[in-house]
Amino acid sequence: MPNGSQITREALASNVIIQNRNAHCNSASLRTSEEEKKRSVD
């Protein structure tokens, strides 16, 4: 079963990378929307 555990470990690692990338994109879009709100208030 070493192959199975190795595959799941690699899948988990790639999932973490994808989640980190998604979180980074979400925070970036939130930041831009906050800046747009400030601009519209001004």
pLDDT digits (tens, 9 = 90+) for 1-42: 567 788 898 999 999 988 988 887 788 888 888 888 888 876
> What was the pLDDT predicted at 14?
92
What are the tens digits of pLDDT across the range 3-14? 778 889 899 999
User: What is the count of structural domains for the chain?
Assistant: 1
Smallest CA-to-CA distance from 22 within 10, 30, 33, 32 is with 30
- In terms of phi and psi (left: phi > 0; alpha: psi -120 to 50; beta: otherwise), the region of 37 is alpha
Q: How far is CA 22 from the centre of its chain?
A: 2
pTM, two decimals, is: 0.47
Expressed as residue numbers, the domain containing 31 is 1-42
